[in-house]
Structure 1
């Protein structure tokens, strides 16, 4: 009985605050086949975006056929010191990830004008455990890349819903 009551209270609290799970993105079928274009064919973001687009319902274009394209114009990573300790050693860093992108339809009309999304993460650097710091930075970059992919897909979804 107590579990049921707790479950009911949690459900009521979540519904009262406006929480609802985010729906999976389903791209409009009107867009047709879509490809991801990057300056680096081995770009982790490009590969992950192509995979996510496929999971969202976008077809991969046949060779030589016209298709909509998501162009990754640029990716920029910057890491800057955020705070120093009493010995002037860096204790915290801020990593920023900025992606510039645009999208056009198969006939070349712009669907999304060039725009940027920037994400950032702060992390603590421990000089005594420096062996873990590069691994931590790599993990942060993977997480930022995953979050960027989701942000770009949400932006595409919003634009396509409003146009169709």
Structure 2
């Protein structure tokens, strides 16, 4: 019994001692946030879902009711031919997502200057498996949308509180 306890606690102590922590959702330093995005933005929906799940920040129904505004612009999916076979058939595509975002405070002050996120995924293509490759393509686009949303939420969490405090006092 003591040996089992010892073997179970030693790895936990080693991991805790090295400073390892699971990624936490610390929250965003705003009580309310308005997400200004083009209609139908999948990335914006992922961000809203993430913030609603964490319950750390209230999503404001309008920009005037929010402490900060997350502005998403230029959200664009691309599909470019990457390679062709000797017979001139497409064998690979490069799928892409380009998104520009910024965060504004109440007075229109930039808390996060416009930043671009560019993601890409390569996909092989076989015209004998059109349905399967179409499903794979949609899965890769969803993965890029989710990845971009996670990056933006982490960036929101990293905004320094002194920038927010300055916003309230200045």
1:36 aligned to 2:35?
A: yes
Unaligned runs of 5+ in 2: 165-170
Q: Taking structure 1 as reference, are residues 18 and 125 closer, same or farther at Cα in structure 2, changes over 3 Å only?
A: farther
SS of match in other structure, 1:132: helix
Report if the CA contact (8 A) 2:33-2:69 is conserved.
yes
Q: Deviations over 1:124-158 (max 9, x none)?
A: 11122112122111111111100110011112222
Q: Which has the larger radius of gyration?
A: 2
Residues 53-132 of structure 1: matches in 2 within 5 Å? 53-56=51-54, 57-61=56-60, 65-67=64-66, 68-132=68-132
Write the distance in 1 (CA, Å) between the matches of 2:63 and 2:128.
55
Q: What is residue 153 of structure 2 aligned with on the other side?
A: 153
1:45 aligned to 2:30?
A: no
TM-score normalised per structure 2:
0.77
Q: Deviations over 1:73-124 (max 9, x none)?
A: 2201111111222212111111110110111122322111111111111111
Report if the CA contact (8 A) 2:72-2:100 is conserved.
yes
Report if the CA contact (8 A) 1:103-1:110 is conserved.
yes
Residue 160 of structure 1 and its aligned partner are, at CA, apart by 3.4
TM-score normalised per structure 1:
0.79
Residue 22 of structure 1 and its aligned partner are, at CA, apart by 2.0
Report if the CA contact (8 A) 1:79-1:95 is conserved.
yes
Indicate the RMSD between aligned Cα atoms, in angstroms: 3.0
Q: Say which is worse superposed, 49-58 or 98-107, in terms of deviation.
A: 49-58
Write the distance in 2 (CA, Å) between the matches of 1:127 and 1:63.
46
Unaligned runs of 5+ in 1: none
Report if the CA contact (8 A) 2:63-2:69 is conserved.
no
